[in-house]
Structure 1
Amino acid sequence: MERSLAIGPGCRAAAAAAIGLTWLTVAPAAQPRAASPFRLHGTVEPIRSQLVTVPRLTGTGFGPLIIIHLAKPGTLVKAGESLVEGCRAAAAAAIGLTWLTVAPAAQPRAASPFRLHGTVEPIRSQLVTVPRLTGTGFGPLIIIHLAKPGTLVKAGESLVEFDRAAQIKTAHDREAEYRDFIAQISKRRADQIVARGRDETELVEAENAVKTAELDLLDKDLVAPIVAEKNTLILEEARAKVAQLRKTFDLKRRTEAAEVRILEIQRDRALNAWKHSEGNADKMRIASPLAGLVVLKTIWKQGSFGEVQEGEEVRPGMPILEVVDPSAMRVRARVNQADVTRVRVGQPVRVTLDSFPSRQFTGRLEQLSPIGSPSGLSNKVRTFIAVFSIDGSDPHVLPDLAAAVDVDVK
């Protein structure tokens, strides 16, 4: 049974509860707000469309159909034109071919300007990375001076400096080793001169002994046979000693030359290590290769992304900053494969910065890649890299800013 709802000023609470009436209190209505425009977001959809599905065949015993012809996506078709053609391999003769038609397609759109989105980048720039030191045993480097971001620097001006104490110490150690090897070579050569003189003296004495033995052997007929045989043995011994001394003399000279050569190789290695250490010390200061604007690079550090700062440790090869020439900028954007035929090199464009929408710049298409690359959403859709120049220079045009490029299609 339905219960009525009543609102009345004369009913008491008890009577209202007895008869089932309900009291309602209405708050004062809010004042209507002033009319103002507002924005809604939606999705574009066609007014006329026709969904094409796989046909349902009459009868029994029919399974999946095999598509042998399919219209390419994006193709403009006319009414009655074939879209898809399929047959079942086991009963192609029974079912024949299936033709599908769609409603008339919309007329191709007229040429109109379209917009591309890209990123501002410098035409001339130089990336500065942590230097790679020659040699072994080098760990992270500590930054002791770093140019502030947004600073205009001149060519040759200091950008970043690292702590070079370890490199200077290594250079001094290598220099000491080099000079020690030079002293060793000088001492070894002096010792070899003394040893050569001693060997030459010993060889001369042995040769004199041979001559003396030969003279003693001349009067063998005048002496006792035992004395003559003794002189013969002395002569043979003297000749053998001379032969041995001559042979060892050459071997000693070769050994001495090899010893000196080993020390010379060690000296050269110490010299190279010394020069490399000095070169590493010189690498601790990086000067700007060109005049431009300092832009710090964002790196991964301590679990998050951030810019490097003075006092932090960095590893060789890590990018620190970039010096860009602010006088010449360009915009790099991607062109969809459906619009690539609408652009050409030299085509005029208008560039608008998303950060400064009130500023517009003129430019033109400088480069267009001849080969497309797959997009991030689909491997079937290709995009082409386009590079647009910006006429003139402006302090608001900075690297990595988002920009919109309006292409005039005529």
Structure 2
Amino acid sequence: MNSGIAVPEKTEGARPNNEPPSRPRMKRWALIAVTFLAVFIALLVAVTRLRTHTANTNPHDSAAAQTSVRLTGKTQAVRSRAILAPLLAGQQVGTLTIVKLASSGIHVKQGDLLVEFDRQAQLKDFVDKKAQSDDQNGKVMEAQAAEIAAKSKDETDLEQAETALSKAELEMQKVELMSRIDAEKARQNLDEAKATLAQLKETFDLKRKAAQAAIRVLEIQRDRTLEVMVHAQTNASQMQIRSPIDGIVVLNTIWKEGTMGEVKEGDQVRPGVPFMQVVDPSMMEVHVMVNQEDLAKLTLGQSAQVHLDAYPDITLQGQLESIDPMGKPGDFSARMRNFSATFSVKGSDPRLMPDLSAAVDVQAAQQPSNLSASR
């Protein structure tokens, strides 16, 4: 007997609602959990190592990290001599004309001719003044000889006057035996002899002083001419300038004939202008400017590398030698100061010359931050 309730048939492959999840799904969730756990452990280990490394890098226990500081400046010779156009003694000369000039960059020895100016006027003046000085010296000698002769004559006149006075005095001793007229003549002769002797003595000194004054005038004229002659000779020798040291010739850029440039033969230069220098290339240095922020990273004796802008393939070793203690205000702020520093260059290169733009790389100790200091 069949009831009215329909009973569903069991379908093959169907599972009850309370049956647990399948095994592959559980494995997937387990794999995800293990992956997250591994990532978490790796992050924890990395953070721990970072904290340990930060704690160990204390500025009091280890050296600070190294950083490079680049400074720029120009090269300069440690040993050099400036060559100036000569200042002529006793003359007012506007310009000097160059007739011979050593080429820039050549090597010279001490005593080699560097430059020669036109000195024909000085040589001519020397010859003329020498002839004039010889003539004036002859006049002085003639005046001295004349004075010697005049003095000898005056001394003879004095002796004769003294003899005449002695004779007149001797005649006066016989006046009692003479007639009145002869006695009067004897007295007149005595008075005349005394007056003559006194006059000769007085004029003798005056003549000597007058003669010495005349000779002195001639000597002054001769000495002035001789001084001008010596000045001309000195000026002529100064217009040939020779090298004071062994080194390389470097021509300076100066203002000449309305333009800036290096001098050449035929140019005119004003006296006192430094138009050339002789430098010793074996000892060079670099002058740089250091701002206030980078100054704390520099210490005397630090090593550096010197690079030349004109020759990128040249790299020379250097060392910090000096720092100017008195800085100057910066271009943009008076509170930020700049300081001058000097680096010595070790070694040499034929292309290393003064006034070349250079860059100096210094391995400076980096200052520790506030965070590291607090830790």
Give the TM-score normalised by the residue count of structure 2.
Answer: 0.74
In the other structure, the counterpart of 2:226 is 271
Quick one: distance in 1 between partners of 2:287 and 2:195?
90
Q: Output the aligned Cα RMSD.
A: 2.2
Deviations 1:172-201 (A, max 9, x none): 122123212221121112111221222123
- Cα distance change of structure 1 residues 142 and 302 upon mapping to structure 2, 3 Å threshold: closer
Query: What secondary structure sits across from 1:179 in the alignment?
Result: helix
Query: What secondary structure sits across from 1:290 in the alignment?
Result: coil
Amino acid at match of 1:343: L
Deviations 1:75-127 (A, max 9, x none): xxxxxxxxxxxxxxxxxxxxxxxxxxxxxxxxxx9752121111111122111
Amino acid at match of 1:141: L
In the other structure, the counterpart of 2:115 is 160
Amino acid at match of 1:382: R
Amino acid at match of 2:143: R
In the other structure, the counterpart of 1:65 is none
In the other structure, the counterpart of 1:131 is 86
Query: What secondary structure sits across from 1:289 in the alignment?
Result: coil
Query: What secondary structure sits across from 2:67 in the alignment?
Result: coil
- Cα distance change of structure 1 residues 375 and 240 upon mapping to structure 2, 3 Å threshold: farther
In the other structure, the counterpart of 2:344 is 389
Deviations 1:267-311 (A, max 9, x none): 344333322321211112111122222111111123321111111
In the other structure, the counterpart of 2:161 is 206
Matching of residue 182 in structure 1 with residue 137 in structure 2 = yes
Query: Where does 1:11-410 land on structure 2 (aligned, <5 Å)?
Result: 112-410=67-365
Quick one: distance in 1 between partners of 2:335 and 2:207?
79
Quick one: distance in 1 between partners of 2:278 and 2:199?
74
Query: What secondary structure sits across from 1:342 in the alignment?
Result: coil
Quick one: distance in 2 between partners of 1:193 and 1:184?
14
Distance apart, 1:408 and its partner CA: 0.5
Distance apart, 1:163 and its partner CA: 0.9
2:113–2:243 Cα contact (<8 Å) kept: yes
Gapped regions of structure 1 (runs ≥ 5): 1-108
Amino acid at match of 1:286: I
If asked which structure has higher relative contact order (CA below 8 Å, sep 6+), I would say 2
Gapped regions of structure 2 (runs ≥ 5): 1-63, 366-375
Moved more, 331-340 or 170-179: 170-179
Moved more, 396-405 or 353-362: 353-362
Distance apart, 1:226 and its partner CA: 5.0
Aligned residues: 302
Query: What secondary structure sits across from 2:293 in the alignment?
Result: coil
Distance apart, 1:138 and its partner CA: 3.3
2:256–2:268 Cα contact (<8 Å) kept: no
Amino acid at match of 1:125: S
Moved more, 174-183 or 113-122: 174-183
Query: What secondary structure sits across from 1:355 in the alignment?
Result: coil
Quick one: distance in 2 between partners of 1:167 and 1:305?
29
Moved more, 291-300 or 350-359: 350-359
Quick one: distance in 2 between partners of 1:378 and 1:177?
68
Amino acid at match of 2:83: V
Query: What secondary structure sits across from 1:403 in the alignment?
Result: strand
- Cα distance change of structure 1 residues 196 and 364 upon mapping to structure 2, 3 Å threshold: same
Quick one: distance in 2 between partners of 1:195 and 1:387?
77
Quick one: distance in 1 between partners of 2:330 and 2:221?
58
- Cα distance change of structure 1 residues 378 and 260 upon mapping to structure 2, 3 Å threshold: farther
- Cα distance change of structure 1 residues 309 and 377 upon mapping to structure 2, 3 Å threshold: farther
Which of these two proteins has the greater Rg computed from alpha carbons?
2
Give the TM-score normalised by the residue count of structure 1.
Answer: 0.68
Query: What secondary structure sits across from 1:207 in the alignment?
Result: helix
2:327–2:338 Cα contact (<8 Å) kept: yes
Quick one: distance in 2 between partners of 1:393 and 1:320?
25
Quick one: distance in 2 between partners of 1:378 and 1:206?
99
